[in-house]
Structure 1
Amino acid sequence: MKLTYEILPAGQAEQCKELCNELMTYQKSMAVIKPELFDTMSFETRMLPSIESALHNHLVAVKDNGKMIGYVYSNISPKAAYSNDFATFFDLDSVSGDLVGCLSQFYIKDGYRQYGIGSKLFEMSLKWLSHFREAEDLFIFVSNGNENALNFYQRKGFVATHDILDGFITVLRNKN
Structure 2
Amino acid sequence: MDVKYEVLPDHDIELCRDLCNELMVYQKSKASITPELFDAMSFETRLIPSVQKASHNYIVIVKDGDEIVGYVYSNISPKEVYSNEFATFFDMHSVKKEMVGCLSQFYIKKEYRQYGVGSTLFNMSMNWLREHEEVEDYFIYVSNGNDDALEFYQRKGFSVSHDILGGFITVLRSKKVI
Output the TM-score relative to the length of structure 1.
0.99
Match of 1:145 in 2: 145
Find the counterpart in structure 2 of residue 118 from structure 1: 118
1:92-171 alignment, distance < 5 Å: 92-171=92-171
Tell me the C-alpha RMSD between the 2 structures: 0.9
CA distance in 2, matches of 1:65, 1:47: 24
Give the counterpart letter for 2:142 in structure 1.
Answer: V
Count matched residues.
176
Contact 1:141–1:172 (Cα < 8 Å) also in 2 = yes
- In the other structure, the counterpart of 2:55 is 55
User: What SS class does the counterpart of residue 135 from structure 2 fall into?
Assistant: coil
1:133: how far off?
A: 1.1
**5+ unaligned residues in a row in structure 1: which ranges?**
none
* Deviation by residue 1:102-146 (Cα, 9 ceiling, x = unmatched): 000000001110000000000000000001111110000000000
- SS of residue paired to 1:120: helix
- Displacement of 1:174: 0.7
Measured in 1, the distance between the counterparts of 2:9 and 2:66 equals 17
**What SS does the aligned partner of 1:88 have?**
coil
Q: Deviations over 1:136-165 (max 9, x none)?
A: 100000000000000000000000010000
> What TM-score, normalized to structure 2?
0.98
SS in 1 for 2:111: coil
- Helix, strand or coil at the partner of 1:84: coil
Q: CA deviation at 1:66?
A: 1.6
In structure 2, C-alpha distance between the alignment counterparts of 1:66 and 1:153, rounded to whole Å: 28
1:8 and 2:19 aligned: no
Which secondary structure state, in structure 1, belongs to the residue aligned with residue 136 of structure 2? Answer: coil
User: What are structure 2's unaligned runs of at least 5 residues?
Assistant: none
Distance in 1, Cα, partners of 2:151 & 2:83: 26
CA distances 1:24-68 after superposition (whole Å, capped 9, x unpaired): 000000000000000000000000000000000000000001210
Looking at structure 2, the residues matched to 78 and 58 of structure 1 have their Cα atoms a distance apart, in angstroms, of 15
Q: Distance in 2 between matches of 1:110 and 1:57?
A: 25
- TM superposition shift of 1:96: 1.8
Q: Which amino acid aligns with 1:57?
A: N
Whether contact under 8 Å (1:5, 1:62) holds in the other structure is: yes
Report the Cα distance in structure 1 between the residues aligned to 2:33 and 2:77, rounded to whole angstroms: 27
CA distance in 1, matches of 2:53, 2:31: 27
In structure 1, give the amino acid aligned to 2:63. K
8 Å CA contact 1:159, 1:175 repeated in 2: no
Identity of aligned residues (%): 65
Q: Does 1:75 align with 2:75?
A: yes
User: Which whole-Å CA distance do the structure 1 matches of 2:148 and 2:125 have between them?
Assistant: 19
Letter in 1 for 2:65: N
